[in-house]
Chain A
Amino acid sequence: MKSMKKTMIGALAGAALMGVSMAQAASLNGAGATFPYPIYSKWFYEYNKSKGVQINYQSIGSGGGIQQLTNGTVDFGASDAPMTDEQISKVKGGVIHFPTVAGAVALAYNVPGVESGLKLSSSVLADIYMGVVTKWNDPEIADLNPGVNLPDLNITVAHRSDGSGTTNIFTNYLTKVSSKWASSVGFATSVKWPVGVGGKGNEGVAGLISQVPGTIGYVELAYAIKNKLPYATMKNKSGHYVEPTIASTTAAAAGALKTMPSDFRVMITNAAGADAYPICGFTWLLVHPSYNSDTGKTVTDFLHWYLSEGEGMAKDLYYAPLPESLVSKVEKKIEMIKY
């Protein structure tokens, strides 16, 4: 009896030792963007189920993620905006960007009498957000929407009041398509808005849109769909009107592929391609180029896993998976991680 116990303990200890020598960190710590949190938590849950590795992720915002990565308190960060050269230079060992999924920013509206299918172009959108176009029956809007009965109603412009990756994507688009916007406002996670009211979070903006007739605002596509808000069809770079969907977002990522820098730090707004929705962006995992061997193995294993297994889970949560052509490029990047 006693000896049996001993052997069992021995076996257990042996197994434990083997587990350690097989050599993966049992857990990883990450922090950053809130926008991809739903898909990331799904990935980390599924990854834990199949590989037994716990990944803790604090969705504290991109800024916080970059800060924690810089301070070395987490194994990886996550951000909705690519890091600047200056930010990267502060991170010991450097940073590699891994795009994970793309998201679309929809322009939701509440215009009595226009239940769906409002069409907008980049110049009209910029004029609305600059406060130049102030009425829904303005000829600029009416010209794009023949046959639609637009009311004589003030436009209430809604935007995010909190700093967000969504704002970064949206203002980046306006900066690309309007020189006036570029010179007077620019793009960032928070900007100085020429007009409008701010709502906190997607839910705040969605709340404004549904409560105040005449409001237009930008929200993550998932929010517009879940709140059943009508959203505008946007005229893209090649002159087609495209609805924000998961497919048109992936198309934008594919359209931006040709001009994509090798480090993937790119905003894919106003992308080329007939089916590309113009207002969308990537979100990135921020990873060091070198790790100690255990952590390095786990990090690279997870990166392989999300590209092969994880991407397929994106659609259910209204994120757009990376186009096939990009996945293979990103896959190659994993080799750069030394451990």
Chain B
Amino acid sequence: MSLPLEVSNSGRAEKALPLFLRLTQAGFGDRLFKKITALFAFLILFLAGLTAFTLWRASIPCIQKMGWSFLNTGDWDPVREMFGSVPFVYGTIVSSFLALLIATPFGLGISLFLTELAPKKMREPVAFLVETLAAIPSVVYGLWGIFLLAPFMRVHVDPILIKSGLPIFKGPSTGLSLFTAGVILSIMILPTITAISREVFEAVPNSYRESAKALGATSWETIQLAVMKPSKVGILGAVMLALGRALGETMAVTMVIGNKPEVSGNLLDPSHSMASVIANEFSEAVGDIHISALAEIGLLLMTITLVLNIVAHLLVWATTSKFQR
């Protein structure tokens, strides 16, 4: 008699409990949390998609008028409504890669010094100072660029480069050039490279260094074998993040690049960049095609950034899988 009652009792209890349990037990909260965070993540995808869609819609008039010639010609003439993007793409990519070329060795050098060689007391203050560079607004870099860096380049650096006789450095120089833009960008991306590669180097277990030293390696060999080699992927990640910043930089570049939409192999010639032309011309653009062409430049910049990021991830992926083997 008592047995069935017990069963039914416990049955009732099981039925009554789950709702209560679902609300209070960690399981429900976890699932809810997962859903909410997933929503946030998809919101980002949605926003990126929406941005691309809006840009595409705004660039329809220009796509219809210019077609492919927007991508493979270099004429930018708002009066005659002829628009070609080549000089802007060229300026953006060349100045960004110049910046990487300058900033990567410096950035890696700084972080190696800070993690491997510098006395402990020095590390934090120096790292702090380098990272403060990242907090300076880019318009301040721009003003510094036009009043200090550009004249400095014109008077002190460019004449030496011109004397070198290399075909990529030809005078006369005004100080406003693709090269100056690369230099100012390299200063701006230096903290990104330094901060990330420092984290990466710090993550290398000390046992690696000790093993290298135990095998009789010098300091340089230790850095090479025990620190740099295992950090390859991280370094690549740092460089790619820096490239992202360089590609999209607007104010500082526009102040020193000279804003001349022309493709020139001479790095001391003025050039232009995609972000600059949008910032420069959008507010006073009155022609429909002109506005649309600027939107298409935006779309193109977004595409290029996306493609470069994908390439970077493929690179990282390729290096890691090789490394694991």
- Given A188-B78, A211-B175, A212-B175, check contact A197 B270 (CB 8 Å): yes
Are A200 and B284 CB-contacts (below 8 A) given A161-B276, A207-B146? no
Residues in A with CB closer than 8 Å to B261 are 192
* A204 contacts across to B, CB distance below 8 A: 146, 255
A36 at the interface (CB under 8 A from B): no
Q: Select which of A154, A162, A187, A215 is within 8 A of B281 by beta carbon.
A: A162
Interface residues in B270-323 by Cβ distance below 8 A to A read: 270, 276, 279-287, 290-291
Q: Please state if A156 and B75 are interface contacts (CB–CB under 8 Å).
A: no
CA distance A66 to B286 in the complex (A): 8
Instruction: Known contacts A208-B176, A212-B175; decide if A188 and B79 are in contact (CB<8 Å).
Output: yes
A189 to chain B, nearest CB (A): 4
Against B, the Cβ 8 Å flags (1 = close, 0 = not) of A178-217 are 0000000111111111001111100010011001100100
Contact of A163 among B174, B175, B254, B285 (CB under 8 A): B285
Question: Which of A60, A191, A198: most chain B CB closer than 10 A?
Answer: A198
**Are B260 and A196 in contact, CB atoms less than 8 angstroms apart?**
yes
Q: Are B281 and A62 in contact (CB under 8 A)?
A: no
Residue contact A197 to B176, C-beta cutoff 8 Å: yes
Known contacts: A87-B286, A188-B78. The answer to whether A200 contacts B259 by CB under 8 A is: yes
Q: How far is the CB of A18 from chain B (nearest CB, A)?
A: 42
Q: In the complex the two chains form, is B284's CB within 8 Å of A162's CB?
A: yes
A163-B258 in contact given A192-B79, A211-B147 (Cβ < 8 Å)? no
B31 within 8 A of A: no
Q: Which DSSP category, helix, strand, loop or mixed, fits chain B's interface?
A: loop
> Quick one: CB contact mask for A214-229 with B, threshold 8 Å, 1 for yes?
0100000000000000
Determine the interface band of chain A, counting residues with CB < 8 A from chain B: 35 or more
Nearest Cβ on chain A to B289's Cβ, whole angstroms: 12
State which of B79, B174, B254 has its C-beta within 8 Å of the C-beta of A200. Answer: B254
Residues from 61 to 79 in B contacting A, C-beta threshold 8 Å: 75-79
Residues of A within 8 A of B150 (CB): 211
Question: Is A192 a contact partner of B260 (Cβ separation < 8 A)?
Answer: no
The interface on chain B, measured as residues whose beta carbon lies within 8 A of the other chain's beta carbons, has a size of: 35
Q: Which residues of A contact B75 (CB under 8 A)?
A: 192
In this assembly, does A125 line the interface, its C-beta being within 8 Å of a C-beta of chain B? no
* B147, B174, B282, B287, most chain A CB atoms within 10 A: B174
Please tell me which one of the listed residues A34, A62, A161, A197 contacts residue B286 in the complex, with CB atoms under 8 A apart: A62
Contact indicator B284/A63 (Cβ below 8 Å):
yes
User: Is A165 an interface residue when CB atoms closer than 8 A count as contact?
Assistant: yes
Which partner residue on chain B sits nearest A167 by CB separation? B284
Residues of chain A lying within 8 A (CB to CB) of residue B80? 186, 192
- Cross-chain contact B146 with A197 (CB below 8 angstroms): no
- Assess the A198–B283 pair: CB atoms within 8 A: no
On chain B, the residues within 8 Å of A164 by CB distance are: 284
Instruction: Answer whether residue A232 sits at the interface, using C-beta atoms and an 8 A cutoff.
Output: no
Q: Does A94 contact B (CB under 8 A)?
A: no
Interfacial chain A residues near B270, Cβ < 8 Å? 197-198
Complex CA distance for A196 and B259, rounded to whole angstroms:
9
**Judging by beta carbons under 8 Å apart, are B280 and A211 in contact?**
no
> In this complex, what residue of A is CB-closest to B77?
A192
Interface residue B159 (Cβ < 8 Å from any Cβ of A): no
Q: Does A286 contact B (CB under 8 A)?
A: no
| A138 nearest CB across to chain B (Å) | 16
Chain B CB within 8 A of A61 CB: yes
Contact partners of B281 in chain A: CB under 8 A: 162-163, 189-190
Chain B: CB-nearest residue to A198:
B259
Chain B nearest CB from A33 CB (Å) reads 9
Task: Give the interface centre of B260, B282, B284, B285 by most chain A CB atoms within 10 Å.
Answer: B284
CB distance from B71 to the nearest CB of A (A): 19
By the criterion CB–CB under 8 Å, are A200 and B255 in contact? yes
The proximity string for A residues 159-176 relative to B, scoring 1 for CB distances below 8 Å and 0 otherwise, is: 001111100000000000
Known contacts A161-B254, A198-B258, A81 near B174 by CB under 8 Å? no
CA distance A269 to B80 in the complex (A): 22
The 5 sampled A-B contact pairs (Cβ below 8 Å) are A63-B283, A163-B281, A200-B254, A204-B146, A212-B151
Binding site for A on B (CB under 8 A): 75-80, 142, 146-147, 150-151, 154, 172, 174-176, 254-255, 258-261, 270, 276, 279-287, 290-291
Query: What 3 A-B pairs have minimum CB-CB distances, sorted nearest first?
Result: A163-B284, A198-B259, A61-B283
